[in-house]
Structure 1
């Protein structure tokens, strides 16, 4: 697989057509960077291929990891990762999720991580996607909480 960026293969103005609509390649790249969670993907051969480059990532990623076997990237838990990927490949499992406290870096939080088998429309295994979210991001900032009901939402007055 080539190391080229999407913008090197297609014009940033190229439109990507999805089942649910169409969007310019450059806009899609920008949207992915704004998502309040991070994602990664390894292909059907367990090669790490892509990650979202969101600011404030929970898991640091290096561009040098792209194209490497995912088991080499996680030597301390390689046997667990291998079992998970084999379960995805064989169809024994389609997803796996867990929660854990963030224990490194400056930020704290309750981390949610989900691994998802990616399959084509015929059920063929294409790889594994992971999604990681710091759930504390959804608690509000500086003691300000989000409204619990639509009525509370409607009652919020804009700041002047």
Structure 2
């Protein structure tokens, strides 16, 4: 199956109300690590993830992706992969996709048209748990994705 890369752009907007909330939540989450590590983490990740994963942006992004994917499937058969900044954003994108296309969802790995593929453990947040799979379960999804005739059409990583 040929591979095509098509970048999609979704603007990032800063909601002024979130700035203080982001800082407070970050302080709570990083209270037990050294100040240098905490500062580095803050600069690299916290604000960027909040901006990239903002609800309005994800709504726009998913609507654009689904429209684009539909038009692409009209022209040719294929599959797609969405690469997200974080596991949390991947789960939020999945929720929006299955809200728009409920028939694409399945709790079973051997069924469904859309899946999130992430690693994790039992201590991860509740919204991530349905998407955390062992290596064997991830391999099953990889094999499904590689088969052009398999109904798995969209993976989110």
Would you tell me which structure has more helix in proportion to its own residues?
2
Instruction: Note whether the superposition's TM-score is higher than 0.5.
Output: no
Larger radius of gyration: 1
Question: Which structure has the higher relative contact order (CA within 8 Å, separation 6+)?
Answer: 2
Q: TM-score range by the shorter chain?
A: under 0.3
Would you tell me which structure has more strand in proportion to its own residues?
1
TM-score, normalization by structure 2? 0.23
